[in-house]
Structure 1
Amino acid sequence: MPFRDSGSTEHPLQRFFTSVRPQPTFQWERYQQRDVLVINHAQCQAVFSRQGAQLLHFEPAGQKPWLWCAAHWPLVGAIRGGVPVSWPWVGRHPGESGWPANGWGRLLDWKLVESHEHELGVTLRWQLRLWDWQADLFADLGQAMDLRLETLHDDSEPCHFGHGLHAYWRISDVADVALQGLDGAHGYDELSRSACEQRGELRVQGGCQRVFEHAGLLELQDDTWQRRLCIDTGDSDSTVVWHPGSRPLLGVGGDEAMGFLRVEAASGVEDCLSLAPGQHASLSLQATLVH
């Protein structure tokens, strides 16, 4: 299936939902050398990758896809798109230069511990155990999207930590959308390497990589699609907004990247958190359609 232009609503993973035959609510498939869980419910369609417990596709019934995903995935490594889970650090590791950016969480296979369907949608719980750490990703999907990442640190010593839910939101074209809710927020612009303060709505022109001291509600307004998404980053330390602009992305072809804006919830981006033995950490990302 060829990739359509950035104005298309088609998603590479919608191929799993073209059958006219009845499909089970949960079904494992193999796609681009990854195990993916296909979810087909009356309230929504979704696809998770076992690698990273990564929600790659989400489409409430009667709506356009909410998440963007690259059409082609690398043979190994992280999949670009959906909602990658950065864990247990964000960005580069503070002490080990050879360790992968954004942690091991998005590279390892998670275990699907629970999956239930109900009238309003589906509920899932993914789990990853690594050394003295345990991460649980809870997902409630229906007409809205609700993700919650819970971490338990059970080591005998305090440990540095960071986590993020790096959502790639599907849009008509990055040049035609506006992000509202950051007016007055202070942060750091990674491209200019300087402090910044947002004035009014944020529109991406020529690329964006900003880390804002912000938590809570945002609105992604897409006039072309006549859609407004309310994005809630919960009580995270930071809201990160990223787009490469005209810079090429490895494995992403042509104008494909014009079809997303990454708006993510994260904590421990600039300064790592410190978790004491037995301490929990939580991060959430929610989205609803504004009617």
Structure 2
Amino acid sequence: MHTAADFGPHAARVPPREAPAHPLADLFLPGKGEPQRWVSHQRHELLLVEHSRFQAAFSRQGGQLLHFQPRGQRPWLWCARHWPKGGAIRGGVPVCWPWFGRHPAEPGWPSHGWARLSDWQLLASETDEQGMRLTWQLELCDWTVTLRAELGEGMRLRLSTRHQDTQACQLSHALHAYWQVSDVARIALLGLDGAAGYDLLARSDCQQQGELRIEDGCHRIFRRGGPLLLQDLAWQRRLAIDTSGAANSVVWHPGSRPLTDVGWNETLGFVCVEAASCGPDSLCLAPGDEALLCLQASLD
């Protein structure tokens, strides 16, 4: 296991894989100086956010945070270069709602629900010297889902769902974050030692032992939320990721399995570490109930 000494000034230096520029970097034009600006990119409406502490971008489709980069740092979130027409955008932090994965009863319905395919409304944004707070909302049938994003030196996302139907309903949801890394084969995730879960690739129960490393793919749903540490030795970076309050921490990477519209070299640059409540840990909401899900990250 790596220690803090591995990140010190005398750590062995291994040249990192050269990461391509973030696909949204060219949208942030020098000299614009506008704190918020709407643009069109690949047939999607994007909100670009400029602050003295960070840059960020959201998509109206999905209310999705696509890019977050504190000043002087590498981007924290990965995003695909090519987006499908009318489909979900792969990257950033998609909101999987009101179901995670395939719908349990309707195989023809979209994977991970309607939220990431729907246009959200920007309700409010507030700015101060510490950062910015934005509130997005989607109303669908008898459901209202709200995403509050707090961005500054770190990021915090808070997803709340209010159920107004007259009958109890089942809910599973996730904040499906794609974290940008130097090389997925050279990173480690700490904080899951001893956690039990289910391995969707092996189709069997699993229990994590020590740090988690990606070896030709990973799709594990752990029955634990809490503080995690994403170590990236090549970039000399450690991100503290917190899924506290969630029933599950999900770790996913496709390995050598192809992804539509994503090149193999692109897939080396991310790992998904998600906050979720899904599968046997899905929620049953009575009329008037509210469900909360949080995901936050900071530089360790």
TM-score, normalisation: structure 1: 0.96
Question: Which residue of structure 2 aligns with residue 54 of structure 1?
Answer: 64
- Secondary structure of 1:55 counterpart: strand
1:140-191 deviation per Cα after TM superposition (whole angstroms, max 9, x unaligned):
0011000000000010010011110000000000011000000000011101
Aligned equivalents of 1:272, 1:181: Cα separation in 2: 23
Q: Is the 8 A contact 1:6 1:255 kept in 2?
A: no
Q: 1:10 aligns with which of 18, 21, 24?
A: 21
1:134 to 121, 124, 144: 144
Instruction: Give the superposition deviation at 1:194.
Output: 0.6
Q: How far is the alpha carbon of 1:92 from its aligned partner?
A: 1.1
Matched, 1:206 2:222: no
Query: Which of 169, 185, 202 does residue 192 from structure 1 map onto?
Result: 202
Q: Is the 8 A contact 1:91 1:269 kept in 2?
A: no
Q: What code does the residue aligned with 2:86 have?
A: V
Structure-1 separation of matches of 2:275 and 2:17: 25
Structure 1 residue corresponding to 2:79, chosen from 55, 66, 69: 69
CA distance in 1, matches of 2:279, 2:269: 25
Q: Which amino acid aligns with 1:84?
A: P
Report % sequence identity.
56
Structure 2 CA distance for partners of 1:266 and 1:289, relative to 1, 3 Å: same
Deviation at 1:9, TM superposition (A): 5.8
**Aligned counterpart, 2:88:** 78
Asked if 1:280 corresponds to 2:280, the answer is: no
Q: Which secondary structure does the structure 2 equivalent of 1:12 belong to?
A: coil
Gapped regions of structure 1 (runs ≥ 5): none
Q: Tell me how far 1:253 sits from its aligned partner.
A: 1.2
Alignment of 1:255 with 2:265, yes or no, is: yes
Deviations 1:82-108 (A, max 9, x none): 000001111111121211111100000
Q: Residues 6 and 67 from structure 1, CA distance in 2 versus in 1: closer, same or farther, beyond 3 angstroms?
A: farther
Who is 1:159 aligned against?
A: 169
**Superposition deviation, residue 8 in structure 1:** 1.4
How far is the alpha carbon of 1:270 from its aligned partner? 3.7
Show the counterpart of 1:113.
123
Report the secondary structure of 2:198's partner residue. strand
Deviations 1:10-45 (A, max 9, x none): 21011122x331321010000000000000111100
Inter-partner Cα distance in structure 2 for 1:24 and 1:108: 27
| 8 Å CA contact retained: 2:256, 2:264 | no
Amino acid aligned to 1:15? D
Separation in 1 of the partners of 2:110 and 2:280?
17
Deviation at 1:219, TM superposition (A): 0.1
Superposed CA deviations along residues 100-142 of structure 1, whole A, max 9, x for unmatched, are 1111000000000001111111100000000100000000001
Residues 219-238 of structure 1 mapped to structure 2, 5 A cutoff: 219-238=229-248
Match of 1:172, as an amino acid? S
Cα-to-partner distance string for 1:30-66 (whole Å, 9 max, x where unaligned)? 0000000000111100000000001000001111100
**AA at the equivalent of 1:241:** V
- The residue aligned with 2:225 is 215
Q: What does residue 9 of structure 2 align with?
A: none
AA in 2 matched with 1:212: F
Residue 10 of structure 1 aligns to a residue whose secondary structure is: coil
Change (3 A) 1:270 1:128: same
Q: How many residue pairs were aligned? A: 285
C-alpha distance in 2, partners of 1:160/1:201? 33
RMSD: 1.1
Secondary structure of the 2:75 match is coil
SS in 2 for 1:236: coil
Q: Which amino acid aligns with 1:85?
A: V
Residues 175 and 203 in structure 1, CA contact (< 8 A), matched pair in contact too? yes
| Alignment partner, residue 12 of structure 2 | none
Q: Distance in 2 between matches of 1:59 and 1:69?
A: 12
Q: Say which SS state the counterpart of residue 178 (structure 1) adopts.
A: strand
**TM-score, with structure 2 as normaliser:** 0.93
